[in-house]
């Protein structure tokens, strides 16, 4: 935490207001509350600024840097790790009003956007031009592309298409002090100098504010088929994941859901799953029609030989949506039935998924905690969701113990702490389990080069581990 942080005096608030205009400056308690949380933690800003153009961002960062005012950039606040939650007061810098799609170019196969564009709006706009933006975080109907770049967001299509970073051609980053760094460009290939574009992706608002993004796009797939496979037990479902990938088939989506998840969504949305169902795989195959037909048939043969109890197939978009219902609505169904839910996102090698799932269950049992597991199993990214009451000290301590044990266990099996949600506050205490002291020291030095006064998203990654974090769902 920067020790020489200055106060946001009324005079200074007036200067910030004159940059963004009254409609872009919020300071009432009810406004501050709306910008005080994500899905993990809560922490109040002193001022919310909503710039409407890049020049305003530059002027805000120049003024904030001069007066050492903390700045926490914010997309839609759908993060799961506390990344956009201000921990040192100061400014919550919402990019929501910078939401223009600036260009879609079919020949160059690129899209240029402002950071506040909602991911699904971009997907639809490029699809209307016959193009495809594959990254598809579960929050795509409301999350924003700036947040996706800041966290290097993933999602169900990672197995075939990778993550946000894989679609970046160029970025504009406003640095503290107001200087503008433009990286990359419009060319598909570019090896001139250091690759700042991909380095900035995933930097979680620590280095500056992303004010423009150029994405590389693909041609839209000709055909998509979806299969929902129900199993009596989780081990069979995990076995099928390995068999499908082992057969050389790369589906565009290969999602795992456990029985707790399926039952929670069934209870609220009535999806009519048989009572004895223990797990499901949601599989999607895309590409040229002939290939999709052949690969879907091969997948159905494999799962049927591997304990599948029920195989439901869909080829039209309406039927496909039906098969996606459990996956799409499950987390909301769980949240409605829980006081608090923490979604972790370890990623492990495919061959270790079974071991990872078994470890998660046994650690939860040891700590007497309720856990639900879903995951983008096709790329080894697992989401254990722990349900507990953070106001109950015993349960809170049990969760902390489970989290610490799992972080160590997942790294031991060559996994990583976070596959797509980022470090934020949640993973800060565990960084040194995965990163060498040299890498942490170099990261610190790089941070200082971009942000010498340490105003950008302070409190994350370093001291958060010793602070008492206020959970998002707890009403304070
Ligand atoms: C999902 C979020 C938790 O995959 O990453 O639903
Ligand atoms: Zn996910």
> Is the Cβ–Cβ distance between 410 and 346 less than 8 Å?
yes
**Whose structure tokens read 């109907």?**
141
CA distance 453 to 419: 30
pLDDT band at 326 (very low <50, low <70, confident <90, very high): very high
How much distance in Å is there from the Cα of 281 to the middle of ligand 1?
15
> Is the Cβ–Cβ distance between 19 and 59 less than 8 Å?
yes
> Is the Cβ–Cβ distance between 40 and 464 less than 8 Å?
no
Q: Which of 132-136, 275-279, 334-338 has the lowest mean pLDDT?
A: 334-338
**In this model, does residue 474 exceed pLDDT 50?**
no
Q: Determine if ligand 1 sits within 6 Å of the CB of residue 343.
A: yes
CA distance 373 to 11: 50
How much distance in Å is there from the Cα of 158 to the middle of ligand 2?
10
**In this model, does residue 81 exceed pLDDT 70?**
yes
Q: Whose CA is nearest to atom 2 of ligand 1?
A: 138
How much distance in Å is there from the Cα of 417 to the middle of ligand 2?
13
Q: Give the atom of ligand 1 at the shortest distance from the alpha carbon of 383.
A: 3
> If we measure between CA atoms, which residue out of 260, 417, 416 comes closest to residue 338?
260
Q: Which of 195-204, 268-277, 312-321, 352-361 has the lowest mean pLDDT?
A: 268-277
Beta strand pairing call for 71-74 and 91-94: parallel
**In this model, does residue 476 exceed pLDDT 70?**
no
Confidence at residue 462, expressed as pLDDT on a 0 to 100 scale:
64
Q: Which of 291-295, 296-300, 356-360, 389-393 has the lowest mean pLDDT?
A: 389-393
How much distance in Å is there from the Cα of 332 to the middle of ligand 2?
14
Q: Determine if ligand 1 sits within 6 Å of the CB of residue 197.
A: no
Q: Ligand 1 pocket: which of 155, 255, 256, 258 to mutate (most atoms <8 Å of CB)?
A: 155
Rounded to two decimals, what is the model's pTM?
0.96
Q: Determine if ligand 1 sits within 6 Å of the CB of residue 331.
A: yes
pLDDT tens by residue, 281-316: 999 999 999 999 999 999 999 999 999 999 999 999
Going by C-beta distance under 8 Å and a sequence separation of 6 or more, which residues neighbour residue 259? 234, 277, 278, 279
Q: Give the atom of ligand 1 at the shortest distance from the alpha carbon of 155.
A: 4
How much distance in Å is there from the Cα of 19 to the middle of ligand 2?
37
How much distance in Å is there from the Cα of 196 to the middle of ligand 1?
27
Confidence at residue 193, expressed as pLDDT on a 0 to 100 scale:
97
Q: Give the atom of ligand 1 at the shortest distance from the alpha carbon of 421.
A: 5
Q: Whose CA is nearest to atom 4 of ligand 1?
A: 138
pLDDT band at 154 (very low <50, low <70, confident <90, very high): very high
**Whose structure tokens read 């760094």?**
181
Q: Give the atom of ligand 1 at the shortest distance from the alpha carbon of 375.
A: 4
CA distance 405 to 411: 10
CA–CA distance from 82 to each of 3, 101, 110, 232 (Å)?
22, 27, 31, 36
Q: What percent of the chain has pLDDT over 90?
A: 89
Q: Give the atom of ligand 1 at the shortest distance from the alpha carbon of 385.
A: 3
Confidence at residue 459, expressed as pLDDT on a 0 to 100 scale:
86
pLDDT tens by residue, 42-71: 999 999 999 999 999 999 999 999 999 999
**Whose structure tokens read 């594959």?**
134
Q: Determine if ligand 1 sits within 6 Å of the CB of residue 303.
A: no
Q: Give the atom of ligand 1 at the shortest distance from the alpha carbon of 420.
A: 5
Ligand positioned closest to the Cα atom of 379:
2
> Is the Cβ–Cβ distance between 331 and 138 less than 8 Å?
yes
pLDDT band at 272 (very low <50, low <70, confident <90, very high): confident
Q: Whose CA is nearest to atom 1 of ligand 1?
A: 138
The alpha helices in 78-201, defined as continuous H runs, are: 119-127, 145-151, 158-161, 196-200
**Whose structure tokens read 């904030």?**
64
Confidence at residue 25, expressed as pLDDT on a 0 to 100 scale:
98
How much distance in Å is there from the Cα of 325 to the middle of ligand 1?
14
How much distance in Å is there from the Cα of 138 to the middle of ligand 2?
6
| Cα angle for residues 173, 178, 181 (degrees, 5° grid) | 30
Q: Determine if ligand 1 sits within 6 Å of the CB of residue 153.
A: no
User: In sequence order, what are the beta bridge partners of 459?
Assistant: none
What average pLDDT does this structure show over 253-270? 94
End-to-end CA distance of the chain: 23
Confidence at residue 337, expressed as pLDDT on a 0 to 100 scale:
83
Q: Whose CA is nearest to atom 6 of ligand 1?
A: 138
CA distance 110 to 132: 10
Cβ contacts of 392-398, under 8 Å, gap ≥ 24: 395/369, 398/367, 398/368, 398/369
Confidence at residue 4, expressed as pLDDT on a 0 to 100 scale:
44
Helix (H, G, I), strand (E, B) or coil at 309: strand
Report which of residues 466 and 272 the model is more confident about. Answer: 272
CA distance 406 to 427: 12
**In this model, does residue 388 exceed pLDDT 80?**
yes
Q: What percent of the chain has pLDDT over 70?
A: 96
Confidence at residue 134, expressed as pLDDT on a 0 to 100 scale:
98
> Is the Cβ–Cβ distance between 141 and 118 less than 8 Å?
yes
How much distance in Å is there from the Cα of 155 to the middle of ligand 2?
5
Mean per-residue pLDDT over the chain, rounded? 94
**In this model, does residue 252 exceed pLDDT 90?**
yes
Q: Determine if ligand 1 sits within 6 Å of the CB of residue 138.
A: yes
How much distance in Å is there from the Cα of 19 to the middle of ligand 1?
37
Q: How would you list the strands of the sheet with 110-113, edge to edge?
A: 101-105, 110-113, 209-216, 168-174, 180-184
Q: Which of 218-232, 410-424, 431-445 has the lowest mean pLDDT?
A: 431-445
pLDDT band at 332 (very low <50, low <70, confident <90, very high): confident
CA distance 95 to 350: 37
CA distance 322 to 305: 25
How much distance in Å is there from the Cα of 442 to the middle of ligand 1?
30
Give the tokens for residue 413: 């099996």
What average pLDDT does this structure show over 167-190? 98
**In this model, does residue 463 exceed pLDDT 50?**
no
Q: Determine if ligand 1 sits within 6 Å of the CB of residue 383.
A: yes
């Amino acid at each position: 935490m920067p020790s020489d942080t200055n106060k946001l005096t009324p005079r200074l608030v007036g200067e910030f207001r004159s940059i963004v205009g009254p409609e872009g400056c919020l300071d009432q308690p009810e406004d501050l509350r709306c910008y005080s949380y994500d899905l993990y933690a809560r922490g109040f800003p002193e001022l919310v600024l909503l710039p409407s153009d890049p020049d305003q961002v530059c002027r805000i960062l120049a003024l904030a840097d001069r007066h050492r005012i903390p700045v926490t950039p914010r997309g839609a606040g759908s993060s799961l790790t506390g990344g956009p939650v201000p921990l040192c007061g100061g400014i919550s810098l919402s990019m929501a009003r910078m939401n223009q799609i600036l260009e879609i170019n079919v020949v160059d196969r690129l899209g240029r956007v402002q950071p506040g564009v909602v991911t699904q709006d971009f997907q639809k706009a490029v699809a209307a031009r016959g193009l495809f933006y594959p990254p598809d975080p579960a929050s795509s109907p409301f999350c924003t592309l700036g947040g996706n770049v800041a966290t290097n967001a993933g999602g169900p299509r990672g197995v075939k298409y990778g993550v946000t970073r894989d679609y970046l051609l160029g970025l504009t980053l406003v640095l503290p002090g107001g200087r503008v760094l433009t990286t990359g460009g419009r060319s598909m290939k570019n090896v001139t100098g250091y690759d700042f574009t991909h380095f900035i992706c995933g930097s979680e608002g620590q280095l500056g504010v992303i004010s423009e993004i150029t994405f590389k796009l693909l041609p839209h797939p000709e055909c998509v088929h979806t299969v929902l496979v129900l199993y009596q037990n989780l081990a069979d479902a995990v076995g099928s994941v390995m068999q499908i990938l082992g057969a050389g088939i790369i589906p565009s989506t290969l999602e795992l859901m456990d029985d707790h998840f399926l039952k929670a969504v069934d209870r609220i949305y009535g999806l009519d799953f048989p009572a004895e169902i223990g797990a499901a795989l949601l599989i999607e195959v895309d590409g040229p029609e002939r290939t999709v037909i052949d690969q879907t048939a091969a997948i159905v043969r494999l799962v049927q030989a591997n304990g599948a109890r029920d195989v439901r197939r869909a080829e039209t978009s309406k039927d496909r949506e039906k098969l996606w219902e459990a996956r799409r609505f499950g987390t909301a169904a769980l949240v409605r039935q829980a006081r608090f839910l923490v979604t972790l996102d370890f990623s492990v090698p495919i061959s270790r998924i079974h071991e990872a799932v078994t470890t998660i269950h046994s650690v939860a049992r040891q700590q007497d905690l309720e856990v639900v597991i879903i995951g983008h199993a096709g790329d080894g990214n697992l989401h254990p969701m722990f349900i507990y009451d953070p106001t109950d000290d015993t349960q809170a301590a049990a969760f902390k113990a489970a989290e610490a044990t799992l972080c160590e266990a997942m790294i031991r099996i060559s996994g990583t702490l976070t596959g797509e949600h980022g470090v934020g506050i949640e993973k800060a205490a565990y960084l040194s389990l995965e990163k060498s002291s040299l890498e942490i020291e170099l990261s610190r030095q790089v941070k200082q080069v971009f942000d010498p006064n340490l105003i950008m998203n302070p409190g994350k990654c370093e001291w958060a581990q010793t602070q008492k974090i206020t959970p998002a769902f707890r009403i304070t």
